[in-house]
Structure 1
Amino acid sequence: MACEDRRILSITVTGDLAGITVRDLMKQKLGFSARLMSRVKYRAGGILLNGKPARAAALLAPGDELRLDITDPDSGKCVWVRPEPFLPPEILYEDEDLLILQKPSGLVCHPSFGHYADTLANAAAVYLGYENRAREIHMIGRLDRDTSGLVVIAKNSGAADSLFKQQEEKAFRKVYLAGAIGRFGGDIVIDRPIGRIPGVLMLRQACPEGKPAKTRCRALAVSGNEVLTACTLEQGRTHQIRVHLASEGHPLAGDLLYGPGGAREAFLATGDPGVVRIMNEAGSGGELHLCAYMAVLRQPFTGKILRVTARYPRWAETFGPEKPVRRKVEEILTDGNPAGR
């Protein structure tokens, strides 16, 4: 691996860090997983204290210069190949640790059956220089194939550990824009467990035996028989926004799975899971009105607050200009409380 390909975290020890060990700093202050700590400890030159190799048990003193090599090894689950044709990903934000991309509707996030190279992860891997390498891609929350919007990728395990912890602490939050069919106003909170529909792998339903799921929705604007809705998730179950709003009688426009005449209705009528697969592969002919629109998070190591916004979806333009919508979504993220608790 080339020298310039390495991620070295440099830390100047100040008073609040003095007296603790390197191990405690990695675990308690940086939130490193046990796997990453082990990788750093046993890597040649993984821990340098004032320019010299050090052990994880070393005590830190004010003014010490600590360098941690947190570079990921080439040991991922798959070797990344270049999509053909290759379209460079649209970058919304990038620094040493983060890459935030715009995912178009219709693009799969990660390799799966029938999609081995034509994925957002493959495009990101080629952009990052991982082509024909087994480097891990840390995608922090995937989007459904038909959902558009921002996708956050951590460039190393340390950044990934931080972002997963931020998710648990609700410091990393997203707001989705959804176009829901039918009229409603104000705020609604949908608190219904979500589980699989027996007999078909792809579909989900709101059901008592499912896993806890809560979605908070705020109506922003109306166009015809569709409401532009800002949604935030407490858990992030598969198809959560789509299932929850459909359970309220407000399926998303363009939803080939849960919308009127969609795959869910076809499966319940026929009991044939093949119908779902065929309808999903055929597509709806339109765009799902769902977009991961805005996120707020902390830079994993500097602590800087980042607010990143995806491209305003074309389908949302019928509700009016972006500026007032963006302002309302920013208010939701600032409050951290989109529909009351």
Structure 2
Amino acid sequence: MAILTADVPLELAGKRLDQVLVEIFPDYSRNKLQTWVKAGRVTVDSEQLKAKDRLVGGEELILDAEAEEVTEYLAENIPLDIIYEDEDILIVNKPAGFVVHPGAGNWSGTLQNALLFHLPDAVTIPRSGIVHRIDKDTSGLLMVAKTLAAHHSLVEQLQAREIHREYLAITIGRMTGGGTLNEPIGRHPTERMKFAVRDNGKPAVTHYRVLERFLRNTLLQVKLETGRTHQIRVHMAHLRLPLVGDPMYSGRFQMPKDCGQELEKVLRSFKRQALHAEKLGLIHPRTGEYCEWQLPVPPDMQELLTALRANDTLDHS
């Protein structure tokens, strides 16, 4: 428990209480601060106000804060492929097959378990500092906050759609050109493990650009504006161009026409969706500077691309 006090600066006059709290106590999220206001853990000149009440400046704020252990998961000594690390953030390269959060069937051996070992203080940060997630069988860049202030900053950037995220994806089917898909995504009406484009879903915006076309496939660069669960996989399936290796959204595996022996071998051994989080950009929580990282194509996707290119040169007559 911690009792925090502060005087409201005059430049914040006219702002709502919850807005002022975010400015003065940046280590805590807006949702957490609003919860504490409702619970009576915030006083303004010894009075309890509502989150929407506006302040005039000069009031004394007292916040009865709590440092919570937000996870009970075990720390595990699992190696991490760290791309960048400083006192505020950690950027990791998550390999395909590595689960991000513990859950049904995967209560250990996850990225979160690894972070709790690498960063013991992460026990007091929501989700051990993991700000966003990528699917188990998607590879690539993931950002982690090492402090509450950094977590708050990165979450706000995500909500404001200021985080730059680009992916490489290989589709089943030949795409004629790029575009933008602005279709809401929600839980599938009958298959609860899946998601689908639905009128009552949450807003989801995906930008895509053709990088390379093959006989029966397309290499795309995909930029996320929002970050819904399975967003790229669902949107590509909605276009009837599902990702290679994605049994959840591509249906029963079928070998494409005009497929040579080498490509057939590679396709049969490719056991995950062909999706790689290639690029990640953000405003650094402490310095305010824009930072960006980029990863090369992982070996399994590179092998698939090589086989697709080689197959295009074969005589299919």
Query: Contact 1:176/1:230 (CA < 8 Å) preserved in 2?
Result: yes
Assess, with a 3 A threshold, how the Cα gap between structure 1 residues 243 and 103 changes in structure 2: closer, same or farther.
same
1:306 and 2:300 correspond: no
From 69, 72, 78, the equivalent of 1:78 is: 72
Aligned residue-pair number: 254
Moved more, 106-115 or 308-317: 308-317
Runs of 4+ with >6 A deviation: 23-26
Partners in 2 of 1:308 and 1:179 — Cα distance? Answer: 21
Unaligned stretches of 5+ in structure 1?
1-17, 43-54, 59-69, 263-283, 321-341
Query: Contact 2:75/2:115 (CA < 8 Å) preserved in 1?
Result: no
Give the corresponding residue for 1:33: 29
Give the corresponding residue for 1:234: 225
Query: Contact 2:270/2:300 (CA < 8 Å) preserved in 1?
Result: no
Partners in 2 of 1:76 and 1:168 — Cα distance? Answer: 21
Give the corresponding residue for 1:155: 146
1:155-208 alpha-carbon deviations (Å, 9 max, x no partner): 122111111221233321101111111111432212222222223321111222
Partners in 2 of 1:319 and 1:222 — Cα distance? Answer: 11
Amino acid at match of 1:76: V
Give the corresponding residue for 1:7: none
What displacement does 1:20 show? 5.3
- Three-state SS of the structure 2 residue aligned to 1:258 is helix
Scaled by the length of structure 2, the TM-score of the pair is 0.69
1:125 and 2:121 correspond: no
Partners in 1 of 2:286 and 2:209 — Cα distance? Answer: 33
1:123-145 alpha-carbon deviations (Å, 9 max, x no partner): 121111359x6664121111111
- Three-state SS of the structure 1 residue aligned to 2:236 is helix
Assess, with a 3 A threshold, how the Cα gap between structure 1 residues 232 and 303 changes in structure 2: closer, same or farther.
same
Moved more, 23-32 or 170-179: 23-32
1:99 and 2:85 correspond: no
- Three-state SS of the structure 2 residue aligned to 1:257 is helix
Counting only pairs closer than 5 Å after superposition, residues 44-63 of structure 1 correspond to structure 2 as: 57=60
Query: Contact 1:174/1:232 (CA < 8 Å) preserved in 2?
Result: yes
Query: Contact 1:138/1:160 (CA < 8 Å) preserved in 2?
Result: yes
Query: Contact 1:221/1:229 (CA < 8 Å) preserved in 2?
Result: yes
Give the corresponding residue for 2:168: 177
- Three-state SS of the structure 2 residue aligned to 1:303 is coil
Partners in 2 of 1:309 and 1:97 — Cα distance? Answer: 19
1:294 and 2:279 correspond: yes
Amino acid at match of 1:303: G
Query: Contact 1:80/1:130 (CA < 8 Å) preserved in 2?
Result: no
Assess, with a 3 A threshold, how the Cα gap between structure 1 residues 245 and 99 changes in structure 2: closer, same or farther.
same
Query: Contact 1:107/1:119 (CA < 8 Å) preserved in 2?
Result: yes
1:207 and 2:212 correspond: no
Moved more, 187-196 or 238-247: 187-196
What displacement does 1:115 show? 0.9
Give the corresponding residue for 1:13: none
Scaled by the length of structure 1, the TM-score of the pair is 0.65
Counting only pairs closer than 5 Å after superposition, residues 257-268 of structure 1 correspond to structure 2 as: 257-261=248-252
1:12-36 alpha-carbon deviations (Å, 9 max, x no partner): xxxxxx9758x99873488553547
What displacement does 1:209 show? 2.9
Amino acid at match of 2:29: S
Query: Contact 2:174/2:214 (CA < 8 Å) preserved in 1?
Result: no
Amino acid at match of 1:180: T
Partners in 2 of 1:239 and 1:306 — Cα distance? Answer: 25
Partners in 2 of 1:153 and 1:295 — Cα distance? Answer: 12
